[in-house]
Structures are given as structure tokens and as C-alpha cells.
Amino acid sequence: MKAKINALVVDNNMEFTSSVVAYFNNNANINIEKVLDDGIETIEYLKNHEKEIDIILMDMILPGKDGMKILEELQTLNIKKHIIVISSYRESYTVRMLNKFHVDYFMLKPCSLESLETRIEEVMEESEDCLYEDKKVSREIQIKVSTLLHELGVPSQIKGFQYLREGILMLYQTTGLIGGITKEVYPEIAKRYNTTASRVERAIRHAIEVSWNRADYQMMNQIFGHSIDYDRAKPTNSEFMVTLSDALRLENNTILKSYI
């Protein structure tokens, strides 16, 4: 019999942690082993219970020690665990800093618990030695990505359209790439199109800016939810690609089905 995945939840939002515990209660594959709401307590717990935990689900904003400090100390202590960061804190600097650490996935709050369950299982199933999965993306998914970008107002004639399409498909294939968009995704796209990673990043940024100015507000709000303040800030390159790839991975995503 396959052993359950033991998860440590680190978050001081009691409403969120209670919903996570309730959702995974009696889950066939995932067990919430422990819930902690403090960064200092988290480090001490992992020092003493490292072998009992398979994956950490953590927020970045915590009392005692914040999420970044936890990641730094885990690296210093050589405690290697699968990690999914789930946070409403979306500063681009923080997302870039996550590339330095072993973070398997980044999810923006609010997120569906169904999606979280899927991400946990996929992260645990992926080989730690293989970054890119040797599997083909179906023609149907390729068409869905292109159609979705069109619906979001990204013109197909600009370079950013192709780069966005490649990036979303890469993230769709391999969730492990979420922590390496700058170091892995951009260089790989640049290699495929005989350009530079910095040009890929700028072209994607331009495409998102065009999309944000042209797309339907209701559609943007449905897809990106309340994690993006439409009036004040566009999503970062990472947020845009991750959100769309994550939605595509959900087989019964009703939001996307209404548009593609």
C-alpha cells in the first residue's frame, strides 16, 4: 500500500488552516501531519521531526521568522523538503528570491483546495533528478493556450505571444519549473528562438501589458481572482504564466471552459 504524503502547514491564518485540515481530513493520499503558525516554532519542529514530513505548505508572512528566513535556515541546516509557498504576498522581488531555494511551487491566495491537492500530488510524483518531463503536450492543450492568449488580448503577431505560449506550456508540463522561471524558463525559450533571456522577459512583459489594457475586465477577474488588484498593478510575468498553466492543469476548470 502506498504511504500517505505527510504535510506540514505553516500559516497564521486560522480560517485558511482550518479549511485545509477539513478538506484533507480522511484524504486517501494526503495527511496534514502538523499545523504551525510561527516561524521559530517551525524551524524547531523540523529539527526534531524532519523524517515525519514529506512536504511543507507555507505562507511567507509569519510571526517570529518569516517565510524567507525559514527557507534560509532550512538550507543552512540541510533540511531538504518539498515546499509549496501559498501566499497573498506577491512582490516580484520575493518571487525572484524564491529561485534561490528549493521551492517546488508558488500559489497565490485565494486558491482552490482542489488545486492545492493536485499540486501536492504532482510535486511528490515528479522525479527530483529530472527537471523537464519527457512527455508531449497534446495538440488540444496547445490550441487551448493559443486561444486563451487571444481571448486575453495578446496579439499573435508580437514576439511575446509565442514566448508566453512556450512558457505556459513548459509550466504546464513541469510544476518544478515554478521556482526557476528566470533561470530555466527564459533561457530555454531564448534557446528555442535564438535570442536572449532578457529579451524574452521584456517581450513577455510587453505582451502582458498589452493584454491588461485590451482584455475584458470580467474575464481577467475570473481567471486571476482577487490576488491581483486590477486597478493598481498588472500581474508579474511569473504570476501570469503560472496562473494560466495552473488553470489548464485542472481538468474541470469551469472558468476556462467558459472562454475556450
> Which residue did the predictor score with more confidence, 108 or 186?
186
Helix then strand count (H, E) for the chain reads 12, 5
CATH number of the domain within which 155 lies: 1.10.10.10
Domains identified in the chain, total number:
2
Tell me, what amino acid is at 170?
Answer: M
* Cβ-contact 90, 62 below 8 angstroms: no
Q: pTM to 2 decimals? A: 0.53
* Cβ-contact 212, 149 below 8 angstroms: no
Both 107 and 148 in a single domain? no
- 86 phi-psi bin (left φ>0, alpha ψ -120 to 50, beta other): beta
What does the pLDDT look like over 154-212, one tens digit per residue?
888 888 998 999 999 888 877 555 557 888 889 989 988 889 999 999 999 999 988 88
Secondary structure (3-state) at 149: helix
Both 114 and 48 in a single domain? yes
Both 11 and 119 in a single domain? yes
Q: Which of 105-119, 155-169, 209-223 has the lowest mean pLDDT?
A: 209-223
Q: Which residues contact 221 (CB under 8 A, 6 or more apart)?
A: 230
pLDDT at residue 138 above 60? yes
Report the pLDDT averaged over residues 64-87. 89
Both 79 and 183 in a single domain? no
What pLDDT score does 137 carry?
A: 60
Of 66, 98, 125, the residue that ends a domain is: 125
